[in-house]
Structure 1
């Protein structure tokens, strides 16, 4: 687990532990910490809260917003809610029903709430049977935050039959791609296109993925290529 690393103005990333999902697939975890203009912290896709990470985060400011960008990235929300009871969970559509044990303050919608609208824009990518992921754009650093809709694993990350599945699914493609399973799950392509149109309207320079090395330049072109199948 790494300490916070500066990635752009008022934006830091930290890698958490590798977790095991369905069928024994292992996934890295990554969080993003944004310090908003008014000083409070926006925690995107929280990872396991180690003592070191907690100290690093608290040195930046008060934790106010815990963000679950989709229904697949909720594993560590409870840890953060216990550690920061004053923070509010803002969850992707559908997560409230899956996690009644958590106090979900707000369901993420089409527009950013006033709490962070000055710094961060957002759009839900609707029409997907797997999950409705809410994609975020941090304006000061020109950084797109995407959890599962774009992935880019190293070719050697998976082994055995899982490596074969990952290759077919485009998880280990030569460049970042939308995995095939998510492409097929977009049963409402019109809704997906509306979301993508808004995303491509942002001046994206950098991209942080939960599952892939960050993109430091020409992010807009990378996102457009990843979604070329949706055009």
Structure 2
């Protein structure tokens, strides 16, 4: 249910969800336990009873994060289940989810609750700005949609061709073509990505793809090498 990914960080494989134009995606969330024992839930997936029991056994849920404007489907159920938790989302998400009470908009500055433990950088994108996180204790860089790699046979028919051209499928995670074409302005994006590349990464995890634990810093520099 919850899989240890490093010191004080766990992942959970959620259900497959439908996206735009019939594309479907596997989902993954992360749980970080902060120094005081509070839990931070990143990109929450569907909240099953089994998942709730596993999370509750680890500590109190205090923060729920929606790292881009497209990862919000499960926010209402987590908000209802943990009304004491603060929900944090990217700017604009509160208008999309009026039933959820948001505590803050995510930016480059870490919230006081996790400052010094989890860093963050906003990567601007005309499709969807994404907040990339870095959990210092485990050395984990956490991406949402800006890095993906689905199995070659994940999609069928014309969607399989589109996914291959878009770089959604492959042997290693890549920035999907639609996202790197939408990263503007390039000078700002490059400066923000450099902050990510400066993090002492020991592993990389993403919502839709195979985590990277071998040579993560080299992997990230290669994945974003097109920005040079």
Band of TM-score, shorter chain: over 0.9
Give the secondary structure class of the aligned counterpart of 1:28.
strand
Structure 1 counterpart of 2:148, from 146, 151, 156: 151
Task: Show the counterpart of 1:225.
Answer: 222
The list of structure 1 runs, each at least 4 consecutive aligned residues, that deviate by more than 3 angstroms after superposition, is: none
Matched, 1:87 2:85: yes
CA distance in 2, matches of 1:6, 1:29: 17
Unaligned runs of 5+ in 2: none
**Greater strand proportion:** 2
Long gaps (5+) in structure 1: none
Aligned partners of 1:177, 1:185: CA distance in 2, in Å? 15
> 1:99 pairs with 91, 97, 100, which one?
97
The separation in 2 between residues aligned to 1:187 and 1:112, in whole angstroms, is 23
Matching residue within 171, 177, 180 for 1:180: 177
| TM-score of the two chains, using structure 1 as the length reference | 0.97
Partner in structure 2 of residue 62 of structure 1: 60
- Indicate the residue corresponding to 1:47 in structure 2: 45
Residue of structure 2 equivalent to 1:22: 20
Distance in 2 of aligned mates of 1:93 and 1:200:
24
Instruction: Compute the displacement of 1:217 (Å).
Output: 2.4
TM-score (norm 2): 0.98
* Candidates 11, 14, 17, aligned match of 1:13: 11
Deviations 1:201-223 (A, max 9, x none): 10011011100011122111111
* In 1: Cα distance, 2:33 partner to 2:42 partner: 11
Of 150, 161, 165, which residue of structure 1 is paired with 2:162? 165
Q: What's the Cα RMSD here?
A: 0.9
Q: 1:98 offset after TM fit, Å? A: 1.9
